[in-house]
Amino acid sequence: RYSPKLQKIAWKKFVEMIKYKAEIYGKTLRQISRWYPSSKTCGNCGYYNKDLKYETEWKCPQCQKIHDRDINAAKNILKQGLTDLTDETMNLWNRGDSTVILLSWESISP
């Protein structure tokens, strides 16, 4: 039987384990908003497809790129995480903070 509460607990535990592993290996973990429309946004041109329902593959009406919904979402999540991290880093620089966050592809890959 489906239990939303149990699902939330399991997800929280999963995220805790990922954070723990990231710390051990010196990796950076970024979480984006759960409301970010990663699967409905074209990873090529940024078009937001509000009409998308349950299709697993869709064609962007703006740039005509064909997307696998899951792969497109993964690319958009990565892009948003990098954007958030870049914005955070720029904010540190603008405040004159001496902290510098260095990001490499290795630090965000599993």
Our count of domains for the chain comes to 2
Which position has the token pair 């990098």? 82
- Regarding whether 57 and 9 lie in a shared domain, the answer is no
- Regarding whether 23 and 45 lie in a shared domain, the answer is no
Which position has the token pair 């890959």? 109
- Regarding whether 42 and 26 lie in a shared domain, the answer is no
Which of the four pLDDT bands, split at 50, 70 and 90, describes residue 110? very low
- Regarding whether 73 and 19 lie in a shared domain, the answer is no
Domain of residue 67 covers: 32-108
pTM of the model: 0.67
- Regarding whether 89 and 58 lie in a shared domain, the answer is yes
- Regarding whether 104 and 85 lie in a shared domain, the answer is yes
| pLDDT of amino acid 37 | 92
- Which secondary-structure segment (H or E) carries 67? strand 66-68
Summarised one tens digit per residue, pLDDT across range 78-108 is 898 888 877 776 665 555 544 444 444 444 4
Summarised one tens digit per residue, pLDDT across range 32-87 is 888 889 999 999 999 999 999 999 999 999 999 999 999 999 999 989 888 887 77
What is the CB-side half-sphere exposure of residue 54 using CA atoms within 13 A? 0
- Regarding whether 86 and 61 lie in a shared domain, the answer is yes
Which position has the token pair 């997800």? 11
Q: What is the signed CA dihedral for 31, 34, 37, 39, rounded to 10 degrees?
A: 80
As a whole number of angstroms, the distance between CA 30 and CA 27 comes to 10
For residues 11 and 91, the answer to whether their CB atoms sit within 8 Å is no
Cα separations (Å) of 77 from 6, 30, 39, 83, 98?
A: 25, 10, 9, 10, 28
